[in-house]
Amino acid sequence: MAETLKRVLSRGGAAWSREENTPAAGPPLLLLGAPGSGKTTMLFAAALEAAGEGQGPVLFLTRRPLQSLPRGTGTALDPMRLQKIRFQYPPSTRELFWLLCSAHEAPGPAPSLLLLDGLEEYLAEDPEPQKAAYLTALLLDTAAHFSHRLGLGRDCGLMVALQTQEEADSGDILHLALLQRYFPAQCWLQPDAPGPGEHGLRACLEPGGLGPRTEWWVTFRSDGEMMIAPWPTQAGDPSSGKRSSSAGQP
């Protein structure tokens, strides 16, 4: 999953070839960030990326419908891609458990990517570590089942977004430690000093042993447009570097 997210964040660099850059899904990825840090936008961008690879539909699970489609999410809002993203809205942990347990009965082609937004909201219903472990196991088993249905050489990726707090309590710390055991790939979205009228963050991608850590400077303008540039390797103001918009890129 790290490769899919890396393609999203690397839109400002060299062009990607879908035929040459569609590796196996890789280890499951945990997307971490504070409230309003752009986790849903990143998940949606990953969904659009995967939907354009011709590997199968994308299953996007979230507690409530998106109020609007995020802008500047790495590729144009191609109607054909949007049609391949299946949104489902389990309103409670119980409903999410039921959906995952019944995934093997779902008709149609198996998803190539399983996304879950707002994991912390489901964990908050029952903060016991056993429930978090059970939900994690269900997510991994569901992705493994979809991989089996996709056939030899094709895997279903798994990406989950978790909200973090500056002052986490012992329960939050325990949940994070548990999740990091099963999600070796992680991407941290860390707020940074934005420019006037902008919301900026630092995206740090740890691919889970499949490559070096990579970082980007991500800015959300007042109109919601997402701008991405490699994180500067030398000291200085990151906002002074050349930025490139991800909107409309192939």
Query: Residue 199 phi/psi, 5° resolution?
Result: -120, 115
Cβ-contact 93, 38 below 8 angstroms: no
Contact status, residue 187 vs residue 203, Cβ threshold 8 Å? yes
State the average pLDDT over residues 211-235: 77
Domain boundaries, the chain: 1-15+25-230
pTM of the model: 0.83
Model confidence pLDDT, tens digit, residues 26-61:
899 999 999 888 899 899 989 988 888 777 899 999
Picking from 56-65, 74-83, 137-146, 233-242, which range would have the lowest pLDDT averaged per residue? 233-242
Which has more pLDDT, 227 or 150?
150
Q: How far apart are CA 66 and CA 81, in angstroms?
A: 17
Which DSSP state fits 105? G
> Does 142 score more than 60 pLDDT?
yes
Residue 116 is predicted with a pLDDT of 98
**What is the model's pLDDT at position 85?**
93
24: phi then psi, degrees, rounded to nearest 5: -55, 155
Among residues 3, 9, 2, 4, the alpha carbon closest in space to that of 202 is found at 9
Return the structure tokens found at 199.
């919301």
* Residue 173 pLDDT class (50, 70, 90 cuts): confident
Q: For the chain, give the mean pLDDT.
A: 80
Backbone angles phi, psi at 244, to 5 degrees: -135, 135
pLDDT above 70: percentage of residues in the chain:
78
Tell me, what's the pLDDT at 22? 47
Identity of the residue numbered 127: P
CB atoms within 10 A of CB 65: 8
Partner residues linked to 32 by β-bridges: 162, 188
**65 DSSP 8-state letter:** -
Q: What is the pLDDT of residue 239?
A: 39
Fold (CATH) for 1-15+25-230: Rossmann fold (3.40.50)
- Looking at per-residue pLDDT, the higher value among 36 and 95 belongs to 95
In angstroms, the first-to-last Cα distance of the chain is 20
